[in-house]
Every structure is written in structure tokens, then in C-alpha cells.
Structure 1
Amino acid sequence: MSDIQLPNSGKSPADEPDAGRTPVRFRNPGLPAHRHRQADVDPRAAKRAERQVLAMLGLSAVGSIFFIVAYFAFPLDGTFATLQVSNISLGLGLGAGIFFIGTAAVHLAKTLMPDTEMFDERHPQRGTEAERTDAAAIMVQGGQESGLGRRPFILGGLVGAAALAPLPAVVLLRDLGPAPGDALAHTLWDEGVRLALDPSAEPILASDVTIGSVFHVIPENLYESDHFLDEKAKAAVLLMRVDPDVVDVREDRAGWDVDGIYAYSKICTHVGCPVALYEQQTHHLLCPCHQSTFDLTQHCKVIFGPAKRALPQLPISVDDEGYLVAQSDFLEPPGPSYWERG
């Protein structure tokens, strides 16, 4: 294989009339002399590298096991302290499991696997039968040269670490929330349940909600639930007050608000992100994840973005003490469309 270099005349090839016809050729210098690694020439260094790889695979397995143990050992009780301990423990375990299996693979490749420089000329994608047979033989030879067959401890450690690495993900699958069905059909909202501030759970007086204000709301009885985090994921609400004249009230929703105070599900109907941005001037609610936009003046109809369904409205009224209360549960399913019930 030869390379071509044009004469150095200080001009571009386009300026040289004979540049394309009078190339200057030079000899291919080839590959530099191969430098053997210490593990290639010293059996003790090879054994040391083997032990290092095995230790990293062991640490990966320990990290995966620690993740599973921490998941059950540090349950959430609703406080930020337990949430912090749980997150840190899970993060350390999962990070160690992934990090050390990666470093073991890199160290194995750099110290024990063959690193002789090779090149192969490009050829048609499908070769002859003889070439295909040779390619299969090369693959077998590569596996033999990798040394894994001669190093059963590393092979066993690699298999063990790889087998344990997916287990944290399997454990996390059970934490995706309630199973479909009746668990998603209803929330904690019911007739007479007071609207309360998130996260203090203090009930909200209608007189405290001024025009232009917005409140993040939960049911007052949320923390009485044994699975209040799951329930909050379904029942979270945004409360806003606007001039009643700006809303085009539908006949079937007359009486669902309190003098311009409206309550809508906070869970985006696209994939369930929290809708947390309210534009006071335009009366738009925005989802920060995928920019779905809902118009409060049209009962939170979708006016932009991937969401296909309006935010469900929570019917509200005022009790004898002046506190805002729910008239009922949502009359349509909150959350992403795949939560819909028949």
C-alpha cells in the first residue's frame, strides 16, 4: 500500500496544472515495532493483572448485592432523611456494580488480551465460502488468544458479575407503582375531602386564594395512607384563581369552580410528568418535560405539545368553615393516557 504526496510548491492542487499527473511517491513506512507489555513477558505481572481483574469483578458483584440489600434495608417512611439515605445507598450500590465491571473489562483488554497491531484490506461484504470458513476460524482463534479459556477464574468472575449486574434493575421494576386496574381507577379525592397545601397538608381557605395565585395541592388525608407516595402520584393538583369572565365554562362543568378558583390534575396526560409552570398572563399551564401546553380558559385543553387529552378537572366547593373541598373524585382518569380505565 502506497501513499501519494503532491510537490510542495506553496500552491493549492487547483493552481498546479501538472499536480494530478506528476505525483511524488514514497515508501510505506509500515507499522512501528511492537512494544510488549509487562504482562506479555513476565508471568508474575500477568498473574497480578489477572488478580486485579478478578478483584474488580468481585467488587462489581458486591455493589450489585449491596444495592439489593439497601433497597430492603432502608425503606421509605415519608421523611426526607430516609429518602436521602435510600437514594445514596442505592446510588452507591448501582454505581459500584456498573463501574467495576466496566473497569475490569478495560483492564483485561489493556493488560491481558493480545494487542498486536493488525490490518486487513477492505473486500466485498460477502466473501467466498473459503473466506467465510477462514473468518469463522479467526473468530475461534481470537477467543483462544483472549486467554479467557486459560483463565477460568476471570471467566467465572465475569459471568458472575454479569449475572448479578441486571438484578438491581429487576428489583426496581417492582417499584414502578401500583399495578394496572382498580389501583389506578380512583384517587384519595372524595366528597368533602379538603384541599391542602403540599407538603404541609394545611387546609386552604377560599379567601386565601387570590387572582393570579397558584397552589400545589394534595388531599388533606394523604399522609394517612400507607402508600401516600403512590397516592400522591395520582391525586396531585394545581389550584389557580382567575377572573371568572375569562373562562369559557362548559355547561356540564358549571359549578365545578368557586368564584374563579379552579383545580386541575397536576399529572401531565402525555407521560405523567408534573405540570408545574403557570403563565399568569396567558393562563397557560406548561409541562417542562415535553412542552405540552394546556389552556386554563378552555378547561385545560391541549393547545401545544404531544399530550392528546386535557388535564382532568377536580370539582370543588366550599365547606361551612370556608375551606375548599372536593365535590367528588376526578370524573375522568388523571395521568398519562395509558392509565385510562374503561
Structure 2
Amino acid sequence: MTANDLNAIARALVAPGKGILAADESSPTIKKRFDSIGVESTEENRRDYREMLFSAPGSEAHISGVILYDETLRQKAKDGRRLVDLLESKGIVPGIKVDAGAKELAGHPGEKVTEGLDGLRERLAEYVDLGAKFAKWRAVIAITDSLPSRTCIEVNAHGLARYAALCQEAGIVPIVEPEVLMDGRHTIARSEAVTGEILNETFEQLHRQGVSLEGMLLKPNMVLSGYECPEQASVEEVAEATVRTFERFVPAAVPGIVFLSGGQSDVLASAHLSAMNRLDAARRPWQLSFSYGRALQAPALKAWSGKPENVGAGQAAYMHRAACNGAARTGAYDASMEQGAASVKLVSQD
């Protein structure tokens, strides 16, 4: 696959009015989600839930791609079609989570490093054969008064860059996800400083590894106040701080930024993205889009509750959130779109 091919896929993933569904929850994570609605996390139930989302009528109007988990990439729908083929029949690009999770960083209490580089070249080749067109690798960075350490920043940025280079070698578009966690009491100013430092190191490492910026996407956190911070920044302050940070550290060659929701409520994630897209377009050389997990799925999961007769209700709830975020892509989202829908307070990762 050529550099132009990678660029075309990256641009398709951030097409106007569209964004990415992150449906790549690991088995332990989706078990927690299912536990919350009293549904057993069996392979069949996981398949039924994800098939409900993937087959939602009209979802292709707002969803450009879906990040899958290894199990899901191999599963078949009830009609015998592969779930990958179901997505592609709707013009939705299938992707795959390839990291092996964040583990304790030796010698650095409270910090983590993402593992999974061993054997990645071979796994990527298999994923290409199974139909994946893009991939995702997540690094997590904690903030305190003294963290992150320089070591944590460097090893995670290096891992992201090595992953991205291997993806492009295999003909897969890498989504590079350096997530600064918003747990804690830190101010939005502290969040902005740390996010900038992470981005600066990440793009330095990507350059060293020869990664084509035109053939990748960035999946970062928004610049928020820590969730326990007594003074929470307004929607407009978050939008301004986030775009200002990316102006400084993200090269214009990157086709798009697909934000993670990172524990925000579904409504707030839409509001923040919309506010960013209302800022002066000259400040945004990249597409500003979304790659949400729970901020797209939470209402659908609750509406479905594991019951076949609720599939329609689950799809409607999912499509409502997809439409809200599709509107946010152009700055057109407004709270009136919620039509009385309750905001779901979320406190865990995408």
C-alpha cells in the first residue's frame, strides 16, 4: 500500500460530519459494562451487542470507522457474514486495537508503559488478511504535581512511534493515542502544559521513526481541568486551550485529530468538540473529529439491556449520539438536540 493509499484511508476516517466508534473494549472491560446492565459477558452476547451497533440503519452517515477488538474482528453476524464485511457493506472502515495494555513502568511508581511491540509485525500481517485497514495503540500518562516523569514520556512516545512505523510498513493507518489522564485535582493550565509536552515528544519520536504524518491520525485527550479540580473550566475555555495546544505541537500534515472522550459525559464530549469546531477555521489545519467509546455507547447499552426486543431502542440511542457528534464536527451541535435526554456521567476510559 502506497503513502497515497494510507492518506486516503486516513482522510476517509475524518470525512466531514463523521467520526470513529471505539468498540475495542477488552474482555475484562466489556464485562464491567455488561455487569452494569445485568448481562452475562458471553461471546454470543458480546457479538449480539456489537452487531446491534454495527448494523444500525443509517449509521454510515456519521460513523466512518470502527475500532474492533481481536475477538470481534474474527466474529460473524447472525446471518453468517463476518462483522468486518457487515461494516464494509455500509462503507464503514474496520480497524483493530493492537496494544497489549498499559503495565506498571519499572522503577517509576504510579506510571505505566504500554506493551505489545513483541510480535506486532506478524500480528499486523494477520490483521490485514482479516480486513483491518487501520489500527490503534493507546499510551496513558498520569498527572500529579510531580508526574509525569521524563522517562514515562519518552518510553511511551517511543512505543507509539515504533507501533506507527510498523503499521505503515504493513499498509495499515496508525491511530496514535497518547492519553493524558484527567483523574486528579490539576488545573486546566497544568493539563495544557503536560499535554503539550507529550505531543512534542510524540511527534519527535514519530519523525525519528520515519512515520508519514499524512498517513496517520492522532487520538489525544482534550485539555480539561482534572475531574477533582475545584474550578472546572467552561466549555469555551476547554475548546480554546485544546486548539491552542494543538496549534503549537501538531503538524499541519496530520489529516485529522480524533479526540477520545476520556471519561466525560456523552453530552459534554459533544459540546466540547462542537465548541472547538466553531473556532476560526484558520486555526484548524486538521479535521477535528471524534473516536468515542462510552460517549457513543452508554445510552445504547442501557437501552438494549441484553434483550432482543430492545435492539431497535438500542440502535436509536446509538444513532442519536452519533448524530449529535456528527453535528459537533461542524460546530452545529446544540443542547437542544438532546430532546430531554439525560446526560450520563462517565468516569472511566474510552
Length-normalised TM-score, structure 1: 0.21
Q: Identify the structure with bigger relative contact order (alpha carbons < 8 Å, sequence gap 6+).
A: 2
Whose helix fraction is larger, Structure 1's or Structure 2's?
A: 2
